[in-house]
């Protein structure tokens, strides 16, 4: 323990996996097994409890910047996927998802 008082984001904050985990948790009321320790966006190892997926709760500036960048990157990927013939999501769904990701990115920037 470093006594670091900041709240960080998990490095993979914008990965589809964590979005899915959140969806599963909210849909079924289950809480997925949280790892004890995670790598953060700023490269630290902190207890999972010291991270948040709520932009307003993240106080580590490096992590906020990381999360903003990651959400914008994922938004672009989702848009590209929506334009790919035979993609598992429609262009409209992809556009909506990308918009949601950009909104989140905006909240990390604020
Ligand atoms: Zn951090």
List the pLDDT tens digit at each of the 110 positions of the chain: 456 789 999 988 776 454 545 544 555 555 556 668 889 999 999 998 899 989 999 999 999 999 999 999 988 988 888 888 888 778 888 888 889 889 999 999 97
Q: What is the DSSP letter of 88?
A: S
CA 70 to centroid of ligand 1, rounded, Å: 14
Residue whose C-alpha is closest to residue 67's, from 41, 103, 98: 41
Cβ burial, residue 55 (10 Å; 0-12/13-18/19+): buried
Q: How far is the CA of 81 from the centre of ligand 1 (A)?
A: 30
pTM of the model: 0.76
CA–centroid distance, 108 to ligand 1, in Å, is 13
Q: Residue 2 has what pLDDT?
A: 53
106 C-alpha vs ligand 1 centroid, how far in Å?
18
Task: Calculate how far, in angstroms, residue 101's C-alpha sits from the geometric centre of ligand 1.
Answer: 20
Helices 91-109 and 61-83 pack at an angle, to 10 degrees, of 170
> Residue for token digits 């997926």?
53
């Amino acid at each position: 323990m470093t006594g670091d008082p900041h709240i960080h984001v998990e490095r993979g904050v914008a990965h589809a996996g964590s979005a899915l985990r959140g969806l599963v948790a909210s849909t079924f009321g289950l809480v997925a097994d949280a790892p004890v320790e995670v790598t953060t966006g700023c490269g630290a190892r902190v207890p999972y409890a010291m991270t948040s997926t709520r932009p307003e709760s993240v106080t580590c500036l490096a992590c906020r910047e990381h999360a903003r960048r990651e959400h914008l990157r994922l938004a672009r990927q989702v848009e590209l996927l929506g334009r790919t013939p035979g993609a598992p999501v429609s262009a409209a769904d992809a556009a909506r998802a990308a918009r949601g990701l950009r909104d989140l990115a905006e909240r990390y920037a604020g």
